[in-house]
Amino acid sequence: MRKFLCLYSFIVFGKCMFLISCKDDNILTVNCDETSTSQTKEITGIVGYDVIQTTDCNYLITGISDNKSTLLTKIDASGNELWFKSYDEISGNNWGKSISKTNDEGYIIGAHQNTIIKSDSDGNLEWAKKLNYSVNHFVEDAIQTKNGEFIVVGGTGGDPLTPSQIKGQAFVLRLSQDGNEIQWIKRYGISNTPNDSFWSVVEADDGGFVLVGEKLQNRNFEFYDHFWIMKIDNAGNEVWSKELGGQYWDEAQDIIKLYDGSYIIAGKSFPSKTKGDLWVMKMSQSGEIIWETKHRGGRVQNSPISISVSKDESSIFIAGYGRLPNKEENYILWSLNPTTGEVLWDKVYGGNLEDKGYGVTHTFNEGAILVGRSKSYSTSLKDTNWLVITDLNGE
């Protein structure tokens, strides 16, 4: 999941000298001597859901630890583990779905079931907020606003056959900077149905927020999703909403904001019950589509999950997973032209078993780092957190 941060400073850290500037996607304007080497490797944990750059020319990964708690792992450019945290002390089911930098050089983690985690720069737990509602609130993304509070998005759970005004709806809430106070919460979508959800959020230039996700459409008692983009103001009130798609499953999974205030949104579109395409679009601040692209690439299905943009906005990577006929899913990395939306290439990584890619970020030398979960390359019988590092051509 992709976020927004503005910091301005000049830092000397070992070999790295860099200027941190205002940028989406947790991509930092930095110059690092270290270069990433293309490789794949198994790293600590069961799954990696998100990965970001750090200000000292390294990378942070969040996901699920071997103890089935939220993990936070710091790696260098070669994929070597620098430190690892598993937040086993936090009660209830929680695992890291998204990670974003905070203005105190720490991190905020959206930790799925009712949980938001704040750490310092070394991954030490500062606080954990547990949401306490009548149904589970599954946290998919969390970002810090320009004013210092946090915006948290996701979806609500619960049995749709048990009446409730909030079950099945997408939610967005504003949390105080210390994590103690929920300042407001808003829920959108259809209640008492399979879940609507917001998957990702960015802050708009005007102080509002743009959310992306999936919204249920009931057609003759068959439930399908629409590709959903919503703009809200800073109090959580709807400004505009776009529900796009056809007759089957269409989901917006991730969003980034560019320097000019426009947005890149990626997700999937199913033109039939069995065929699934990458669907990516560029949208203006007012919600108008500038360009859009759909791409299948010879696969039966594609499930794009996350987006990364290079610091000069000359390169877009989209990561997820896809399946060829008669095969299990493999990691997929797409490269797009950000001006036109043209798919320049797509690469497949994986083995003969199920391998699903979830998170991506650019490396400091314009390649890509992907994280996810793999059965093909696990040294045990369970899923493993499988790391893929590529050059700028996906090799």
Q: How far is CA 109 from CA 91, 97, 98, in A?
A: 15, 7, 6
3-state secondary structure the chain: CCCEECCCEEEEECCEEEEECCEECCCCCEECCCCCCCEEEEECCCEEEEEEECCCCCEEEEEECCCCCEEEEEECCCCCEEEEEECCCCCCCCCCCEEEECCCCCEEEECEECEEEEECCCCCEEEEEECCCCCCEEEEEEEECCCCCEEEEEEECCCCCCCCCCCCCEEEEEECCCCCCEEEEEEECCCCCCCCEEEEEEECCCCCEEEEEEEEEEECCEEEEEEEEEEECCCCCEEEEEEECCCCCEEEEEEEECCCCCEEEEEEECCCCCCCEEEEEEECCCCCEEEEEEECCCCCEEEEEEEEECCCCCCEEEEEEEECCCCCEEEEEEEECCCCCCEEEEEEECCCCCEEEEEEEECCCCCEEEEEEECCCCCCCCCEEEEEEECCCCC
The confidence score (pLDDT) of residue 89 equals 96
pTM of the full structure? 0.90
Give residue 159's domain range.
4-390
What is the block-wise mean pLDDT of the chain (395 residues), using blocks of 10 residues? 39 35 47 78 96 96 96 96 97 95 97 97 97 93 97 82 67 97 91 78 97 76 76 96 85 95 93 84 96 92 94 94 90 96 96 96 95 93 92 94
| Number of domains, the chain | 1
395 within domain boundaries: no
Going by C-alpha positions, the residue among 87, 85, 99 that lies closest to residue 51 is: 99
The answer for residues whose C-beta is within 8 angstroms of residue 381's C-beta and 6 or more apart is none
Asked whether residue 96 is domain-assigned, the answer is: yes
Q: What is the pLDDT of residue 88?
A: 96
For residue 163, what pLDDT is reported? 57
In a domain, 173, yes or no: yes
383 and 47 Cβ atoms separated by less than 8 Å? yes
Main-chain dihedrals φ then ψ at residue 4, nearest 5 degrees = -140, 140
What's the confidence (pLDDT) of residue 350? 95
Q: Is residue 97 part of a domain?
A: yes
Residue 372, in any domain of the structure: yes
Which residue pairs, CB below 8 angstroms and at least 24 apart, start in 240-244? 240/286, 240/287, 241/188, 242/287, 243/215, 243/217
Q: What is the pLDDT of residue 36?
A: 75
- Domain-embedded: residue 160: yes
Q: Are 180 and 130 in contact (CB under 8 A)?
A: no
If we measure between CA atoms, which residue out of 64, 108, 105 comes closest to residue 87? 64
**pLDDT for res 8:** 32
| CB distance 352 to 328 below 8 Å | yes
269-272 long-range contacts, CB within 8 A, separation 24+: 269/227, 269/245, 269/294, 270/246, 270/301, 271/246, 272/248
Q: What is the pLDDT of residue 20?
A: 37
Residue pair 211/232 in contact by the 8 Å Cβ criterion: yes
Residue 360's nearest CA partner among 318, 313, 312, 315 is 318
Using the structure block, give the residue that is written with the tokens 């990433």: 36
The domain that contains 95 carries what CATH number?
Answer: 2.130.10.10
Whole-number pLDDT of residue 248: 80
User: For residue 243, which of 265, 217, 261 has the smallest C-alpha distance?
Assistant: 217
In this structure, is residue 375 part of a structural domain? yes
- Quote the tokens at residue 95: 């695992």
Q: Is the separation of the CB atoms in 357 and 307 below 8 Å?
A: no
Q: Which amino acid is at 216?
A: L
Structural domain contains residue 320: yes
